[in-house]
Amino acid sequence: MMVNMGKKTKIGIISLIILLIGVYFGLKAYAAHVAEENINRTVNRASGFVDMDYQKVSVDLFGLDTHIKNVRIAGINRKRAVKIDDIVIYRFDHRGRVPGSLHVGFKGINLDLDQLGKNAAVLREMGYSHIKADTELDYIYDPAQQTFVINKFQTGAAKLGDITLTGRIANINLSPASLPVLLFTFPNILLSQAELTYCDHSFVNRLLELAARKRGQTYDAFMKELNAKLENEIAGHSDPSLKQGIRSLKQFLNDPDTVRISISPDEPVSIGRLQDIKDGNELIKLLNAKVFVDR
């Protein structure tokens, strides 16, 4: 097509392309510089709690995502640092001390089993030597309404599993003046609804196999005994929803894939009230909790 164009036209088009490329990379570098300044301010603000450094900041102008590469986060004692390949900031409202809106992803969280304390020995018995996890958080906080909506909290790792949580809580004040007393006001927070989804990638089978070994049983013998106990539990309840919940749990344990637990109380329930309930069946009814197994 350019064959039929005049020489000046071709030169003009090529010059325009070069200009656009230059503008793109110029804006990209400027955006990365601005993003790095904001990140440094945030890091300095948190310096009393954690020690953090990173290798590089880049910005995707098309998606407007900020990437922080090769991050190292440690406690103030600088021990047991966690290394993260890439932190991606999709959305960040940095006007307040607590972001009113945040969507961030942590890709490639490298965990040495020794960093997991007492759980390390159990995980090694289950066949794990190193964990590389991904986590994503997306929330919106409305200070006027004092509501906190979790659009998505997901964390997981290969050969383990993925947990995804969505939910809505109310009567929560995250203003700087209220943060020091948040622990004391915690019982007043209201739970409106939530859904937890777990997708297994071999963790449950490994856990059940370990439990069987600990009891000196074969896996089949252990599962036969476990299923008998679950059947007795089902028979001992008259509430259809409780029966269905235990059946779903039994189905998942025998063929682990994806299990969902939904909570939708008739009216918002305070954390304090939940803490006072000692009977599990009463808690399930109050929360209108349901268990679903997806295949």
Using 70 as the pLDDT threshold, list the residues of the chain that sit under it. 1-56, 58-64, 75-79, 94-97, 295
Tokens of 191: 């739970």
**What's residue 231's pLDDT?**
95
CB 102 within 8 A of CB 138: yes
Backbone angles phi, psi at 241, to 5 degrees: -70, -35
CA distances for 205 relative to 208, 222, 248, angstroms = 5, 12, 16
Token pair recorded at residue 277: 């309930």
Residue with tokens 């009463």: 282
Q: What is the pLDDT of residues 198-255, one digit of tens each?
A: 999 999 999 999 999 999 999 999 999 999 999 999 998 888 888 888 999 999 999 9
Q: Cα 259 to chain center, whole Å?
A: 16
